[in-house]
Every structure is written in C-alpha cells, then in structure tokens.
Amino acid sequence: MSANLQVLVIDDDAVVGRSFDRVLSEKGYDVSTVLSGEAAMESIENTNFDVVFTDIKMPGMDGLEVTERIKARCPWTPVVVITGYGTEANESKASVLGASGFVRKPLTPEMIESITLKAVNDSTVSADAVEAPEQLAAVEPIAEAVVPKAKNSVAKNIGLFFASPFIALGYVIALPFVGFYQFVKLGREAFIKKHMSE
C-alpha cells in the first residue's frame, strides 16, 4: 500500500472517525475526520482526498447532499456512504448521485480496510481508463463476448412468451382429469374404509 493516501471521514459521531483513523493510519493512510458536511466541504477545498466516507444522518447537510456536492466538485473522488439507517431508497439515491459504495454500520476493522482498498482500487482503474482511453479497446471484445449470452436470453424469453398460452392450455385440459382422479381415489378409499369397518 503506498503511503500518504488521503482519506476523509465525515460523521457527527466522533467515535466513527476515530475508528477509521485507528484502522487506516496503521495501513499507511492519512485520515482526516470532520463532524459535519459543511466542515467537509471546507476540507475538500484544501486537500485532494483519495477516498471520502460520509454518514447519511447528520445535522445540517446530510450525507446524500455531501455526496452530490463532492461528486460535482471532484467527480473522480470515490465517495462511500456509511449509515446506520440503511434503506433501499437511500442506497438507490446514493448510487444515482455517484457514490462508490453504500455500507451499513456497525463496521468492523476488516470492513473498513476492505472497503477503503476497494474504493482506492476502483478509483485507480477509472483514472487509468480516463488517462489511457486506448485501453478501453481491450475491454470491447469482452463486452462483445457477453452479447451472445444476452441474445440467447432474449430468444429464450420470446420462446417462453409464445409457449406460455399452450402451457396454460395444457394445465386447463389436464385439471379436470386430475380432479376426477382425486375424486375417484378419495371415493375408493372411503369405500374400502367403510367395508373394512363392517
């Protein structure tokens, strides 16, 4: 891990900031912690961060607004949303705003380290692709290899669409026979039971 990667942690709970600082400082990161979105925006003006972590529920500017502002100002900076109030709506909104991840508390030291590493690696890959667009040409054959599977899936779905009325018709035709069979079977069992008891 290269030293001096800059991490910003935004959380109104100082304990969370200290947890990130304790775990990541040992791994060679420089960790800055702030308690509000407003303080975070001031920090971002003075430092280029490699990763930003933000809580959602904070007084004043919430984490989703922080994410939106950071991505507008520094679109290449990965922002990971951390929250104890995880909902699908918040997760979807964070994704639309460009968040690199959405992680629910409580966080273990292993989780903190792995999500930071993933965010840094994803950011490096994205930056490399922007700096060297010719590398994207190597990705295109992979995308083309996936297309036949998609076409097969579409063909399969179309086939099922046209076959479904016939499948349903088969069930409709078979249902009376199945019902009649069950009726006869129950009648037979009742008849046998009656004669056995006599």
The pLDDT of residue 94 is 86
Q: Name the residue among 13, 67, 75 with its Cα closest to residue 48.
A: 75
- Both 148 and 125 in one domain: the answer is no
Provide the number of structural domains found in the chain: 2
| 146 shares its domain with 197 | yes
Amino acid at the residue 81: V
For residue 91, the domain's CATH number is 3.40.50.2300
Domain residues for 180?
A: 133-198
Shared-domain flag, residues 60 and 116: yes
Task: Tell me: do 65 and 111 sit in the same domain.
Answer: yes
Give tens-digit pLDDT for 80-115.
999 887 778 888 888 888 888 888 888 899 999 999
CA distance linking residue 90 with residue 83, whole number of Å: 10
For 152-197, write each residue's pLDDT tens digit: 556 666 766 677 677 767 667 866 776 777 778 777 887 787 777 6
pTM confidence score: 0.60
The answer on 142 and 123 residing in a single domain is no
For the beta carbon of residue 93, count every other beta carbon within 10 angstroms: 17
User: For residue 140, what pLDDT is reported?
Assistant: 42
Residue 71 is predicted with a pLDDT of: 92
Nearest to 69 by CA among 42, 41, 48: 41
> Which one is predicted more confidently, 166 or 149?
166
Domain end residue (candidates: 110, 131, 152): 131
